[in-house]
Amino acid sequence: MKIEFLFWRGCPSHPEARELLADVLAAHGIEAEVDEHEVTTQEEAERLAFPGSPTIRVDGQDVDPAGASARPALTCRIYHLPDGRVSPVPTREQLEEALT
């Protein structure tokens, strides 16, 4: 399993998301390496189709496909919760669905 964790340091959302990802991996006994990559320029964001920080892909698939096609940018990414609220990080359920 290939897990990519892309982030932009200008947004404060990635530490919480990285912690949540580690927690979900541990809870499900998944021993996969996480390839962390810091996106630093708009050009890189466009090359990587990076829709905002953080972006997590499992075997190339975004954990939130609905938000994956947003305009590539050095920005905080918006995740929409099932109840209609907005969050700067994906839900545990989204990660579990992508990883298990």
Partner 1 sequence: MTLTLGMEAPEFDLPGVDGQNHSLDSYADAKALVLVQSCNHCPWVQAWEGRLNSIAGDYADRGVQVVAVSSNDVESHPEDSFDEMKARSSAQGFTFDYLYDEPQALAHALGAERTPEVFVFDDERRLVYHGAIDDNRDDTAVQQHYLRDALDAVLSDQEPPVRDTPAVGCSVKWK
Give the binding range for partner 1 (CB under 8 A) out of 25-33, 57-65, 68-76, 91-99: 68-76
6 strand-pairing partners:
37, 55
Site string for partner 1, 41-60 (x = CB under 8 A): -x------------------
Regarding 29 and contact with partner 1 (CB under 8 A), the answer is no
- Beta strand pairing status for 79-80 and 61-62? unpaired
Out of 64, 77, 90, 98, name the contact with partner 1 by CB under 8 A: 77
Regarding 11 and contact with partner 1 (CB under 8 A), the answer is yes
Site string for partner 1, 78-97 (x = CB under 8 A): xx-----xxxx---------
Regarding 76 and contact with partner 1 (CB under 8 A), the answer is yes
37 strand-pairing partners:
6
- CB-count exposure of residue 11 (10 Å: 0-12, 13-18, 19+): middle
Contact 79, 89 (CB under 8 A): yes
